[in-house]
Amino acid sequence: MKKLFYLFAFTALITVLMVSCKEQDNATGIELDKDTLKLAMGGTTTLTANLLPYTVTGKVNWTTNNSSLVTLESDNAVAVMSKCVVTAKAAGTATITAATSSGKYSATCTIEIINAEPELIAVEGGTFTMGCTDNEGFGIEFPEHSVTLSSFKIAKFPVTQDQWEVVMGNSPSYFKGDRLPVECVSWNAAQTFINKLNALTGKNYRFPTEAEWEYAARGGNKSKGSKYSGGNDINAVAWYLDNNTGTQPVGTKASNELGIYDMSGNVWEWCSDWYDIYTNDHQIDPKGPKDPPETGAYHILRGGSWANDPIYCRVSSRAGLPPGEYSYVTGLRLVLP
């Protein structure tokens, strides 16, 4: 009789444990911490789902409408809050759904996946004359000198605001628009962007050297010797002071001989070099001074901007700012060796 009692008690205990551990679904709703977000291709983010009321415990099922764009890894736990790690595999738009186990309640988050890497143009190496060749330049553009460069790849467009935002998580630009070039970025901030992009992609993007920038702007070994990048008619190739009131979407003017856009006007573009005066010496793959020279601690800017007269948008025009400073005319373009 005593054994029978113990058996009954043990069975009752097991039944209680099974009931207490059984998945409950007493929720009256569900909510996600984000309704929409942007994510860089190759990046990850965590979504959190809360059951309503917040005191309810239950299982949350995570699904996506496009598994070719994202992968999901959820905690699969019976809990008040449920988390899901989302990894972006390809560019596009995907919807993530969190639902109660009964399927009665659900919430969605729309994720726009952006390729933060630039479209690249191959630039075949060669020798060119660097510096002012049109007799309209300022003193810092002289003397002309011969430079030989190795081949490299340069971005077809300046870095855009959507590319910057998905890597950095902020939007510093004064003028707003996904396809506008990012501006209001210092050399230091741009370097941070490059470091984060390289960590995300496993590649080695960098600023162009000043010589690489000018060679590409001139059209490389396909150059026709134009004053601006892409031709002598500035209205055809550049956004500058007389034809706009702010930055414009990249790629909306004509390209140069290599198919590169916006190297004259729109935004000034940072280069890796510290500013220094030119010399007559022939140079091979110059990188500028290793440390700030006596001429000043300025990093080179090239190309002119939407706020400048045509003379500043010529392919040989030079400017510079300290690495921690920026304005609504400073942006960047990337190079991959």
pLDDT in tens, 242-276: 999 999 999 999 999 999 999 999 999 999 999 99
Task: State both tokens at 183.
Answer: 């501006």
Angstrom distance (rounded) from CA 129 to CA 117: 31
At 225, the pLDDT band (50, 70, 90 cuts) reads: very high
pLDDT at 37 over 70: yes
pLDDT at 177 over 90: yes
Looking at residues 113-127, what average pLDDT do you find? Answer: 97
At 11, the pLDDT band (50, 70, 90 cuts) reads: very low
Task: State both tokens at 153.
Answer: 């790849």
Q: What are the φ and ψ backbone dihedral angles of 74, each rounded to 5 degrees?
A: -100, 165
Looking at residues 285-291, what average pLDDT do you find? Answer: 92
Looking at residues 54-63, what average pLDDT do you find? Answer: 90
Task: State both tokens at 17.
Answer: 């444990």
pLDDT of residue 79: 77
Give 215 or 59, the one with higher predicted confidence: 215
Looking at residues 173-183, what average pLDDT do you find? Answer: 98
User: Whose structure tokens read 């140079």?
Assistant: 283
- What top-level class would CATH report for the domain 23-114? mainly beta
Asked if 217 and 264 count as a contact pair (C-beta separation under 8 A), the reply is: yes
pLDDT at 208 over 90: yes
At 293, the pLDDT band (50, 70, 90 cuts) reads: confident
Angstrom distance (rounded) from CA 265 to CA 121: 19
Q: What average pLDDT does the structure give for the chain?
A: 91
pLDDT of residue 3: 46
At 19, the pLDDT band (50, 70, 90 cuts) reads: very low
Residue among 106, 108, 55, 111 nearest 86 (CA): 111
Amino acid of residue 125: G
Total-model pTM: 0.88
pLDDT at 73 over 60: yes
> Which CATH code fits 120-336?
3.90.1580.10
Q: Does the fold of domain 120-336 match that of domain 23-114? A: no
**Secondary structure string (H, E, C) spanning the chain:** CHHHHHHHHHHHHHHHHHHHHCCCCCCCEEEECCCEEEEECCCEEEEEEEEECCCCCEEEEEEECCCCCEEEEECCCEECEEEEEEEECCCEEEEEEEEECCCCCEEEEEEEEECCCCCEEEECCEEEEECCCCCCCCHHHCCCEEEEECCEEEECCCCEHHHHHHHHCCCCCCCCCCCCECCCCCHHHHHHHHHHHHHHHCCCCECCCHHHHHHHHHCHHHCCCCCECCECCHHHHCCCCCCCCCCCCCCCCCCCCCCCCCCCCCCEEEEEEECCCCCCCCEECCCCCCCCCCCCCCEEEECCCCCCCHHHHCCCCEEEECCCCCCCCEECCCEEC
Task: State both tokens at 261.
Answer: 């856009």
Looking at residues 301-323, what average pLDDT do you find? Answer: 97
Domain extents in the chain? 23-114, 120-336
pLDDT at 102 over 80: yes
